[in-house]
Amino acid sequence: MTRREAREKALCLIFEYGYNTEKKPEEILDRATEEWEETLSGFAKELFLGVCEHLAELDENISEAAENWKITRISRVSLAVLRLCVYELIYMPQTGREISINEALELTRKYDDEKAVGFVNGVLGNITNA
């Protein structure tokens, strides 16, 4: 599994967790592994579990950077992408800021609309320039 594919799998899990925060992340991970009939990479698991563990902090960073936007107004796809990328920026800086942001924008292009790409880019720009 490439790192891009791992990010995409992690994004799906983060998106699902956004609807099922009462479930333990491990339950979502186990169910997804069974459903997808494949083993997730360590990188995908680390991203998903890390986002779940630091969700409040990530959302606080996103809220501060999303000027004049309440987090509840952000589309669930964009929010999942932002959570993934902000986690990677803070906790996995070895990946490189440019790579993390580019991957986030590609995921947004694939799963959200073009307006969302500009929004996500702006929020990530605010975070990296803070």
Domain annotation for the chain: domains and CATH numbers: 3-128 (1.10.940.10)
Mean residue pLDDT of the chain comes to: 94
- pLDDT score of 22: 85
What separation, in Å, do the N-terminal and C-terminal C-alpha atoms of the chain show?
A: 33
The pTM of this model reads: 0.94
Residue 126 parent element (H or E)? helix 114-128
Conformational region of residue 96, where left means phi above 0, alpha means psi within -120 to 50, and beta covers everything else: left
pLDDT for 86 beyond 90: yes
The predicted-structure confidence for 14-47, as pLDDT tens digits, reads as follows 999 998 888 999 999 999 988 888 888 999 999 9
Q: Compute the average pLDDT of residues 46-75.
A: 95
Calpha distance 42→3 (Å, rounded): 10
> Cβ contacts of residue 60 below 8 Å, gap of 6+?
none
